[in-house]
A and B are shown apart, each in its own frame.
Chain A
Amino acid sequence: MSNDRDKKIKELANLNQVALKEFEILLDQNKDLLPEWKQAVVALLATSVTPPKDIDSIRKLLTGKQNDQTSNS
């Protein structure tokens, strides 16, 4: 087996990390996300060794406005 092929196979040994890397690349390329959303996701990924198990920082962006609404009413 060639060294190149061996290297490729080894790189794919942890497919979770490969998928997460792909996610980060696509996230970086995306122009449609609002800055606060992008920041939340980037911060989330930065603190994750493995793919994130807790995505509450994104959920806060979803519920934050609703909480404001509740308090207003």
Chain B
Amino acid sequence: MIRLQTLRVRGVRGIVDGPDLNIEKGGVILCGDNATGKSSYIDAIEKVLTNRCSSLDDGGRGTSWSKQGSHINCADSEIDLTIFDGNKDVSINLNTDISTLEKQTQGFLEAARQQSFVLRRRTLLDFINAAPRQRYLAIEYFLNLEEYGAFENQLKEMLKDVDTQLSIAESDKTQNERTLKEKLKLKYNEGISDKRCLDTVNLTLNVAGIELLETLENVSNRVQKVEALLVPFKDIGILQKVQALADYVKQIPDIQNLRQTANQYLLACEEIIAEESRLKGHFYVQVLETGFTWITEDGLERCPLCDNPINIADVKAHVDARIAKHEQFIELKKQQAEAHKAFLNALEQHKHENIERQWREAFDSEVPEQFKTTINHVASLLKLHRAPISTGEIRRSIQDFPEEYYLQGIQILRDEINLKLASFPDSTRYAQLYQAKSQLVATSFHLQQIANVTDLINHLKICQGHIKILVDIAEKGRKNAVQKLLDTVVEVANGYFQQIHPKEGIGSPKLEVPKRGSGSIELISQFHTEIGDPRGHYSEGHIDSLGLCLFLAIRRIHYTQRPELSLLVLDDVMHSVDANHRRDTANLIFREFSDHQIIITTHDPLWFEYLKSASQKSKHKFTQHRIAHWTLEHGPVWGDHLANYEWLISDNGITAKPSDLVIKAGILLEEMLQNLCNNLGISVPFRIRGDYTIGPLWDSFFVAVKKNEEFYDNTKLCLEKIEELKNLRNWVGAHWNEWAQTLTQNEALAFTGAVLQLQNHTYCNECSQFIVRISELDGVWACAQECKRYNKKQKKATAQGSKQTLGWQELAAMGIPAGQQISRLISMLQDEQKAGRITTRVQAEEFVRKQQALRNKTS
């Protein structure tokens, strides 16, 4: 079975560069305040295993791994996950090509990508709060119905095809009916039938004098007959063109109009000349009016030309007088302009712009020469008279117009057109025959088309009905299967739920797939006598529990589907559940999922303790970490006692400054006291802020431990040393002052040694836990497997904690260097005592001296 082993993370979400997460066989329990990077580890695990991150990639929020996956100060993300495949370590990162991995690892990663193993609080609430359709979509990803879904979709695609074909066929039928109605001149809303078509066609045949049809079967025979009668009309296209030309020629206006307008124009021009002669000089009324406007608007007081003074009123009177004197001239000018326009319009009507082309098309020859010469003359006249010319030129051009020649040309056109029209057969007859043929052909063709397409429509409708049935069956089949799965999910979920909330009258959840609609899931649950939406009656805690149990049930079923993935990740899912139920939940998780590797994060220190306690019952060890704090620059920092303990006994601890030693040892002592007061049931003064620091904890602890004789006997020395030096932590860490600067190495070592000794007496590495009070054994203090055990009443010296034990100070006093060497010797002494080889202090000192001599010899 594949297990996660080590997670190295760089530049991901809230993590800058580690710390690395070593994952024990049982899993990880991680505790930290909000926004300290817990979920960043979960995101990294999910991303590297599934190539997606549900907290970012679920869409709809505008977030994605590509945008927010990296730490905001890091350009690149690195995730290296080492897994153990049962035989060897396998390293996976964001660039790993799955196909290059061994089959077992491939199966593990494929299962991770298909199934649910990560639950976040947001996912949990989303599922409960989602609309039924959204709930189905949320769970659809994990239903593993791809193959069946493909089958169902194929049927649906086929139904879509049929719908499209049916729509096209019906449109085709409508188009054929519309065209046939137009040909037969039937009303738009009239129905099409063989009889109606036959009657209509017979009416047309009757008009054309052709034998009527008895049935529509003889249509082709009648078409042949009509076509034979139409043979003489083969040039009917030309006839239409000649007819159009004849119509045009008929409408050529009388030449009298042209003559009249030309004379009027000439007369107007002559009258202007005569009036000008009378007035002796040209007169421009517009110049007068415009000049006066300029003078008025500019308010000129002197003439710009002669510099004489100007009186506006005098100027206006002078202008008005001049215009009055020329009123007759002005009127004549208007008449001349109108006469000019009328003359040009008359000339336009004799221009015959398109007649040459029309003639060519109808007669296949050029228009007669005489007519052509005349229309060229009209075109040149138009060009001449559009520009201003003298009255003499106007007169000459009018006199030169070849009126008689033009009229003869028009007559030639008429004669030739009439001659051509006479050469064609009767056009009325042609119209009758043409309509008869058109209706016969249309009736035959479109009725056949309508019959064909009607047949097709009937077939498609049958197919549509059957495919609809198959789609319906496919949907029902899927829903039935999903419902069976959901029934099992809720049965399993309720089993879990009742373990957390036994005899509370709630639970029995139901996930129902409604029969209508393509896919949705209704969630209902029992609340005493009521059954309905759990949000209606459940508390927040109950809803949290219900969501968690449903997820755990799905995980359990998925594990059956793909046993290669035995991983359960719960990211801070318990928010509103009270302490007792949280304890039950912790027990449930470790009991029911003992076949899984479990990774749990929480912000709640109490649940962290419950989880640690519950994990003791597991056959596997768990990594336990507490995140002390988080900064943007450094990311999360481990703050749990083991990390501090490891640091104190490491080379870093040995060479550290006295103040740093005291600070670390103080943090370790504080957490130890929190755990021990909790585990041993020691009453401490209540603090509403929940900040249980060394001060209040130590006083209570120091009083309480004296009541356990065996424990006190074993720890008296270190307890008294801590009592003596405990304020160092406060002075150095919280209230840095001059005194703290004088802190000596010996004082720091003495305090640190005492704290480490207390850790050795109270924390069991085998059980990964501090000692707890076991009420059933008359208040015995012990770890889970009683590796460390202290009786309330002293009976006899025990192997682990006897007076023969040499502590930190004694070993330091014997000249042993602080740090790892002392820890190693304490551990070796304990082993010797356990084995019964050391029973006195003298033997212990002898053993230490021998070990040192051996070490000195080796080095």
Q: Which residues of A contact B (CB under 8 A)?
A: 1, 5, 8-10, 12-16, 18-27, 30, 32-34, 37, 41, 50-53, 55, 58-59, 61-62, 65-66, 69, 72-73
Q: List 19 A-B contacts (CB under 8 A).
A: A9-B488, A10-B560, A12-B484, A13-B561, A15-B482, A16-B146, A18-B484, A19-B477, A22-B476, A22-B478, A23-B473, A32-B465, A37-B466, A41-B470, A51-B147, A51-B148, A55-B151, A62-B467, A65-B459
Question: What's the minimum C-beta distance from A2 to chain B, rounded to whole angstroms?
Answer: 8
Instruction: Count B interface residues, CB 8 Å.
Output: 44
Asked if A22 and B480 sit within 8 Å, CB to CB, the answer is yes
> Sorted from nearest, which 9 A-B pairs have the closest CB atoms?
A23-B477, A19-B481, A22-B477, A51-B151, A22-B480, A19-B148, A18-B481, A65-B459, A16-B147
- Residues 141-152 of B, flagged 1 when their CB comes within 8 A of A and 0 if not, give 001111110110
Contacts of A27 in B (CB 8 A): 473
Measured in the bound complex, the distance between the Cα atoms of B557 and A12 in whole Å is: 8
Stretch at the interface among B154-162, B538-546, B665-673: B154-162
Measured in the bound complex, the distance between the Cα atoms of B491 and A41 in whole Å is: 35
Contacts of B560 in A (CB 8 A): 9-10, 12-13
Question: What's the minimum C-beta distance from A29 to chain B, rounded to whole angstroms?
Answer: 9
Measured in the bound complex, the distance between the Cα atoms of B456 and A34 in whole Å is: 18
Contact residues of B between 121 and 145, Cβ < 8 Å to A: 143-145
Asked if B456 and A9 sit within 8 Å, CB to CB, the answer is no
Asked if A15 and B469 sit within 8 Å, CB to CB, the answer is no
Asked if A62 and B162 sit within 8 Å, CB to CB, the answer is yes
Contacts of A23 in B (CB 8 A): 148, 473-474, 477
Q: Which listed residue, B148, B463, B495, touches A15 by the CB 8 Å rule?
A: B148
Query: Is residue B210 contacting chain A, with contact meaning CB distance below 8 A?
Result: no
Contacts of B482 in A (CB 8 A): 15, 19
Contact residues of B between 395 and 410, Cβ < 8 Å to A: none
Q: Who on chain B is nearest to A28 by CB?
A: B473
Measured in the bound complex, the distance between the Cα atoms of B469 and A37 in whole Å is: 11
Contact residues of B between 580 and 617, Cβ < 8 Å to A: 592
Query: Is residue B375 contacting chain A, with contact meaning CB distance below 8 A?
Result: no
A-B interface contact total, Cβ < 8 Å: 122
Measured in the bound complex, the distance between the Cα atoms of B147 and A21 in whole Å is: 13
Contacts of B466 in A (CB 8 A): 33-34, 37, 61
Query: Is residue B455 contacting chain A, with contact meaning CB distance below 8 A?
Result: yes
Q: Who on chain A is nearest to B485 by CB?
A: A12
Asked if A55 and B455 sit within 8 Å, CB to CB, the answer is no
Counting chain A CB atoms within 10 Å of each CB, which of B463, B478, B488 scores highest?
A: B463
Asked if B158 and A5 sit within 8 Å, CB to CB, the answer is no
Query: Is residue B260 contacting chain A, with contact meaning CB distance below 8 A?
Result: no
Contacts of A62 in B (CB 8 A): 158, 161-162, 463, 467
Question: What's the minimum C-beta distance from A46 to chain B, rounded to whole angstroms?
Answer: 14
Query: Is residue B492 contacting chain A, with contact meaning CB distance below 8 A?
Result: yes
Contacts of B467 in A (CB 8 A): 58, 62
Contacts of B151 in A (CB 8 A): 20, 51-53, 55
Contact residues of B between 151 and 173, Cβ < 8 Å to A: 151, 154-155, 158, 161-162, 165
Asked if B158 and A55 sit within 8 Å, CB to CB, the answer is yes
Contacts of A12 in B (CB 8 A): 484-485, 488, 557, 560-561
Counting chain B CB atoms within 10 Å of each CB, which of A9, A13, A59 scores highest?
A: A9
Asked if B144 and A55 sit within 8 Å, CB to CB, the answer is no
Measured in the bound complex, the distance between the Cα atoms of B143 and A19 in whole Å is: 11
Asked if A15 and B145 sit within 8 Å, CB to CB, the answer is yes
Beyond contacts A13-B560, A16-B145, A58-B470: 18 other A-B pairs, Cβ-Cβ < 8 A, are: A5-B491, A8-B488, A9-B488, A12-B485, A13-B561, A14-B561, A15-B143, A16-B146, A18-B484, A19-B480, A26-B477, A32-B469, A34-B462, A51-B147, A51-B150, A51-B151, A55-B151, A69-B452
A72-B452 contact, Cβ under 8 Å, with A9-B557, A58-B470: yes
Contacts of A20 in B (CB 8 A): 148, 151, 477
Question: What's the minimum C-beta distance from B484 to chain A, rounded to whole angstroms?
Answer: 6
Query: Is residue B556 contacting chain A, with contact meaning CB distance below 8 A?
Result: yes
Asked if B561 and A19 sit within 8 Å, CB to CB, the answer is no
Contacts of B452 in A (CB 8 A): 69, 72-73
Asked if A30 and B473 sit within 8 Å, CB to CB, the answer is yes
Contacts of B556 in A (CB 8 A): 1, 9
Asked if B481 and A55 sit within 8 Å, CB to CB, the answer is no
Contacts of B592 in A (CB 8 A): 1
Measured in the bound complex, the distance between the Cα atoms of B491 and A10 in whole Å is: 14
Q: Which listed residue, A22, A53, A72, A73, touches B481 by the CB 8 Å rule?
A: A22
Measured in the bound complex, the distance between the Cα atoms of B470 and A29 in whole Å is: 12
Q: Who on chain B is nearest to A66 by CB?
A: B456
Measured in the bound complex, the distance between the Cα atoms of B466 and A30 in whole Å is: 11
Contacts of B456 in A (CB 8 A): 65-66, 69
Q: Who on chain A is nearest to B480 by CB?
A: A22
Asked if A5 and B488 sit within 8 Å, CB to CB, the answer is yes
A55-B148 contact, Cβ under 8 Å, with A19-B477, A26-B473, A32-B469: no
Asked if B492 and A9 sit within 8 Å, CB to CB, the answer is yes
Question: What's the minimum C-beta distance from B496 to chain A, rounded to whole angstroms?
Answer: 10
Q: Who on chain B is nearest to A61 by CB?
A: B463
Counting chain A CB atoms within 10 Å of each CB, which of B144, B151, B474, B481 scores highest?
A: B151
A59-B147 contact, Cβ under 8 Å, with A5-B488, A12-B557: no
Contacts of B154 in A (CB 8 A): 52-53, 55
Measured in the bound complex, the distance between the Cα atoms of B154 and A38 in whole Å is: 17
Asked if B478 and A59 sit within 8 Å, CB to CB, the answer is no
Question: What's the minimum C-beta distance from A10 to chain B, rounded to whole angstroms?
Answer: 6
Question: What's the minimum C-beta distance from A11 to chain B, rounded to whole angstroms?
Answer: 8
Q: Who on chain A is nearest to B557 by CB?
A: A9
Contacts of A52 in B (CB 8 A): 151, 154
A33-B158 contact, Cβ under 8 Å, with A52-B151, A69-B452: no
Measured in the bound complex, the distance between the Cα atoms of B476 and A27 in whole Å is: 10
Question: What's the minimum C-beta distance from B142 to chain A, rounded to whole angstroms?
Answer: 10
Measured in the bound complex, the distance between the Cα atoms of B463 and A5 in whole Å is: 43
Contacts of B557 in A (CB 8 A): 9, 12-13
Measured in the bound complex, the distance between the Cα atoms of B607 and A4 in whole Å is: 33
